[in-house]
Structures are given as C-alpha cells and as structure tokens.
Amino acid sequence: MTNQTPDRRGRHRRLAVILGTNEFGSAVAVRLHGRDYDIVMSHDPSPPVIRRKMAFHDALFGETVMIEGVTAERAEDSLALRGRLGRAEGVIVTDLGLLDLIAIRTLDVLIDARMQKYVVKPDLRWLAKSTIGLGPGFAGGHNCDIAVETRPGKAGAIIEQGATDEADGTPAPLGDALGERFGRAAINGRWHSAIDIGTRVYKGFVIGHLGSIAVQAPFDGLLRGVVRDDTEVPAGAKLFEVDPRGRLANATEFDPRIKTIADGALRALAIRESGLPLQPGRTIHLVK
C-alpha cells in the first residue's frame, strides 16, 4: 500500500503540509507547486496575518485567491480534505490543525512557516519524513531536520546542525522605516477595519478600531497589510503595515527576502530528498 495519493493522471503525489497561511508559507507553497505534491496550508491564528494580498489566507473565508498563477481552495473538514487530495489544481487551505492532518495520512513534508518568533518550538521530526523550520526558535537536528534563517542579511541560509539566530525585536527595514511602520494592538480585543490593502493613507488616518480604540497610520504611505476585519487579536500583535516607499510601495508581490526564504526552504527539502548524510556544522547559503 502506498502513502501517496494518485492524481487525475494516475501519478502519485506526496503530501506537504505548511503551517501558517501568511506570506512566508504562501511563498513556499508557490515554489513547491507543480512538484508532484499535494500542498495543504494549515491556518494558525497566532500571529494574525496582515500581508493578505501576498498570502493564501483569505481563501479560508471563501474568497478567490491567486498568487503567481497558483490558486487556493478551502477544505472545511477532514472529509473535504481527503476528497481534494490528488485532485486539487492549486493549494488547499484549512483550519484543521496538525493533529487532525497527521491523522489523515502520513506527511511526507512538514514546513513550519508560522513565524512564531517567541514561542518554544516542539520537536517536529517525528511528525513527517522531512521537517523544516523557518526562523527563530528552530535548530536543525534538534527540533526539525533542517532550519532556514529568516534574519535580514542571512535570509535563506540553511542550517542542518544548530540553531537559527534568536529574534531581537528589530524588523527588516522597508525603505527608511523599521518597526514604526506597524500598528500594534495595545490590548487584547476585536479588530475592525474597512480599509482595503493597497489604499493610500496619510499620517493620522484612522485605519481601524481595536474595541473602542482608534488606531492611526504613523505616516503617509500605502497600506501594505492589515488584519482581516472582525478578528480577535492579542495585545502586541501587528494590526497593519504602512509602506513608506512612494512609487516603489507594493502590497501584492513577494519582496526579495520572502522569496529568498522560500527558496531556502526548497533547497532544504532538496537536501533531505537527496538522501545525503548530514554534515555537522555545515551551513549552506543560496547562490544568488
């Protein structure tokens, strides 16, 4: 008996699960598409997704989403997901958690792209044949098979043995802006916003309300991302992002860092699939 699901042409496809429906997980899904994998993206509410125009996240709510020619469809439950394996033309997104997914079928690939920088990571290695962790908290050979760096300047570096850099609270720069470009939740609450991603905003413009608290744009720019309306958010969570780069501002395309991280994840998977033995301390950087 094979663990793989035959597609409409009779080819057997392996199962890849990506934890997270954000832009990082979505970039990995786009790169992985077309490689004889069923790709399932599992939503996690923490942290909330803000860059939704460069993510498959909104397919969870019945919206049509296409990124670089790849579409997404929602599977509401285990039965629906089973019916789509081997048949989905694009990416499958679901609210089903990891425990639900491993009960459906053995996972060939598990990639944690949730970017939960300050959360203690579980050991993923027993959950799939190949496990890859993106960003802080992951250590190759410890809680995943291979870790991928996400820190600016090191993004895409592959670590087979050892830990990625710890989070230092400093966001990657965007134009001249660092952390000040994000609006954050001052309290736990329910977020409401009717402003579309891609809207030009100005300093002081009210982008949304967290409960009764109005949250304003920090400066003029393009709304690059915003948490979906009517979402419960924890204190400290990013609510929106304003891109200050003028004509260079973009809310829909993956930036170079995101692409490099996704390419690093695929190179890590290629190393695992090659079957070559791991070499302690070896770190591989992407060729640009």
* CATH code of residue 185: 2.40.50.100
Number of other CB atoms surrounding residue 34 within 10 Å = 10
Same structural domain for residues 53 and 92?
yes
- Residues of the domain holding 205: 179-244
CATH number at residue 26: 3.40.50
Residue 286 pLDDT grade (very low, low, confident, very high; cuts 50, 70, 90): very low
Give the per-residue pLDDT at 285. Answer: 43
Same structural domain for residues 162 and 118?
yes
- Determine contact, residues 39/16, Cβ cutoff 8 Å: yes
Residue 11 has pLDDT above 90, yes or no: no
Same structural domain for residues 278 and 236?
no
The pair phi, psi for residue 154, each rounded to 5°, is -125, 0
Same structural domain for residues 24 and 141?
yes
Give the per-residue pLDDT at 279. Answer: 57
Same structural domain for residues 91 and 192?
no
Same structural domain for residues 56 and 192?
no
Residue 168 pLDDT grade (very low, low, confident, very high; cuts 50, 70, 90): confident
Residue 283 has pLDDT above 60, yes or no: no
Give the per-residue pLDDT at 170. Answer: 86
Residue 94 has pLDDT above 90, yes or no: yes
Q: Does a structural domain hold residue 174?
A: no
Q: Does a structural domain hold residue 249?
A: no
pTM above 0.85, yes or no: yes
Residue 288 pLDDT grade (very low, low, confident, very high; cuts 50, 70, 90): very low
Q: Does a structural domain hold residue 252?
A: no
The pair phi, psi for residue 176, each rounded to 5°, is -95, 5
Domain count, the chain: 2
Residues 6+ apart with CB under 8 A from 251: 51, 53, 54, 197, 198, 222, 223, 224, 225, 243
In terms of pLDDT, which residue wins out, 105 or 288?
105
Same structural domain for residues 187 and 138?
no
Q: Does a structural domain hold residue 250?
A: no
Residue 10 pLDDT grade (very low, low, confident, very high; cuts 50, 70, 90): very low
User: In terms of Cα–Cα distance, which of 91, 97, 101 is closest to 45?
Assistant: 97
